[in-house]
Amino acid sequence: MSLFNLRLSEVHNRLHHRDLSVAELVEASLARIGETDGDIGAFLTLDEAGARAQAKALDDAAGPERGLLFGLPAGIKDNIVTEGLRTTCASQFLSNYDPIYDATVVQKLKDAQSVTVGKLNMDEFAMGGSNENSSFHVTRNPWDKDRVPGGSSGGSAASVAAGQVYFSLGSDTGGSIRQPAAYCGIVGLKPTYGLVSRYGLVAFASSLDQIGPLTKNVEDAAYVLQAIAGHDPRDTTSANVSIPDYASALTGDAKGLKIGVPKEYLGEGIDPQVKARVMEALRVFESMGAVWEEISLPHTDYAIATYYLLASSEASSNLARFDGVRYGVRADNPDNLLELYKRSRSEGFGPEVKRRIMLGTYALSSGYYDAYYKKAQQVRTLIKRDFDQAFEKYDLIIGPTAPTTAFRIGEQVGDPLTMYLNDICTIPVSLAGVPAISVPCGLADGLPVGLQIIGKPFDESTVLRAAHAYEGQTEHHQLRPALT
């Protein structure tokens, strides 16, 4: 674990000066996975041969060009396609799918010369908040193996928290990077919608999905974001904006920042200990010269219903491509084409995916479109307007990432509505399309609590600046689970 407690910049220095080889680093990662993943279950596909081959090639390469991600073992969420490396979305439907191309973010990591060691477990097609919806196995929280790691990027968070990889990539639709980061005591960044290419991300809800990094600290998150951000002509929703030097924002200074704290994020349903950790964090910002005051985001109460109507509607459309004809698993010996569709989808999709397809199809159906989907789009505009108005006065909005700490495995799996409410603090941010980061802000009954720092569109620099300054005044990010 000692190597994996170092910052990316510290490992980079060792690699750059050849005090450490990439092969040694990769072997340490594979050894750690071997020691811990039997209990954690973070990985779905481990590419040991490929990782060792990448390591050898990097060690053998001549030249001084070694970026900050050079040689670092990384894990990729299993809904981000990787050429020749199985990508299942944790679904039986894609249990035999080996992509023939790389997602843009994967290619960018290759360009940065990091090493992909494998694909990480998730809720099937990114639909869930606990990782219990994977059709292969449940991932466990390294802090308490009887608890969930969060979802849908639960494997991505657990692998970083367990010290298996230096960083991982996840995807966030309604909180699926930030919530598992909070549950696992690490840093998770959801960039502004459009900042990071979605090309090669298997779509759940196209107007919400966004890829981002999960890391041990804020500095590492800045470096990984630097590598994966940028315009991509292959993604029609990719924003053509200039990419700043995110590391230059890590000044350790929060003086003068104006922070809004939504009363809706600290009201009913928020665990008292979670609220206490957030209030302690706000006092830290005060001590650094920032100012904060309570604000209101009045349409927050409508966010859950709005999100699940919109996301399910988009999922219904996106998942129509899985028909058992072009790729993925197909039913054996169907009598006709219609039976092929029915049986392939019935056998391939799990219960949560079916639930959301049915909800979305209903919301888009004739006679209900205006009452549900159109109305949800209108409310989404109001939610975004709440954020726009708040950011006219404040630099940042801060609150808890999740209303509670990680819950026990099996505790909510039979109650999808309660499960959905775990995303009450993250979903409004996704609907607004603005950036947010979750950073550790302490423990409650021995489990990590996440602080969510929300910024203006494409102002990741200020989000990272504030998170880094807070991190510099605390030691919460240095806490590690007591894995044997």
- Tell me the domains of the chain and their CATH numbers: 3-258+394-478 (3.90.1300.10)
Q: How far is CA 361 from the centre of its chain?
A: 26
73 vs 1, higher pLDDT:
73
Is the pLDDT reported for residue 312 higher than 90? yes
The predicted pLDDT at position 62 comes to 66
Task: Return d(Cα 241, Cα 246) in angstroms, integer.
Answer: 14
The predicted pLDDT at position 383 comes to 98
Query: Cβ neighbours of residue 424 under 8 Å, at least 6 residues apart?
Result: 269, 300, 303, 304, 403
DSSP string, 202-256: PPS-TTT-EEEEEESSHHHHHHHHHHHBS--TT-TT--------GGGG--S--TT
The predicted pLDDT at position 366 comes to 87
pLDDT bracket for residue 64 (50, 70, 90): low
Whether 455 contacts 462, CB under 8 Å? yes
The predicted pLDDT at position 227 comes to 98
Lowest-pLDDT range of 323-327, 452-456, 471-475? 323-327
CA proximity to 181, closest of 469, 453, 472: 453
Task: Return d(Cα 441, Cα 448) in angstroms, integer.
Answer: 8
Is residue 238 left, alpha or beta, with left meaning phi > 0 and alpha meaning psi from -120 to 50?
A: beta
Determine the average pLDDT of the residues in 183-207: 98
- At residue 382, φ and ψ (nearest 5 deg) are -65, -40
Tokens 């690490």 belong to residue: 186
Determine the average pLDDT of the residues in 380-387: 98
pTM for this one?
Answer: 0.96
Determine the average pLDDT of the residues in 64-71: 84
Question: Tens digit of pLDDT for each residue in 227-280?
Answer: 999 999 999 999 999 999 999 999 999 999 999 999 999 998 899 999 999 999
Is the pLDDT reported for residue 1 higher than 70? no
Q: Going by DSSP bridges, is the β-strand pair 115-120/73-77 parallel, antiparallel, or unpaired?
A: parallel
The predicted pLDDT at position 418 comes to 72
Is the pLDDT reported for residue 34 higher than 60? yes
Helices 272-287, 460-472: axis angle to 10 degrees equals 90
CA proximity to 365, closest of 431, 304, 416, 316: 316
Determine the average pLDDT of the residues in 129-147: 97
The predicted pLDDT at position 484 comes to 56
Is the pLDDT reported for residue 134 higher than 60? yes
CA proximity to 184, closest of 212, 163, 203, 211: 163
Residues of the chain with pLDDT > 70: what percent? 99
Q: Which residues are the active-site residues?
A: 77, 152, 176
Is the pLDDT reported for residue 169 higher than 90? yes
Is the pLDDT reported for residue 65 higher than 80? no
The predicted pLDDT at position 61 comes to 84
Is the pLDDT reported for residue 461 higher than 90? yes
Q: Where are the alpha helices (DSSP H) in 241-328?
A: 272-287, 303-318
253, with CB counted inside 10 A (0-12, 13-18, 19+), is middle
Determine the average pLDDT of the residues in 188-210: 98
Lowest-pLDDT range of 7-21, 221-235, 340-354? 7-21
Determine the average pLDDT of the residues in 102-128: 97
Is the pLDDT reported for residue 113 higher than 90? yes
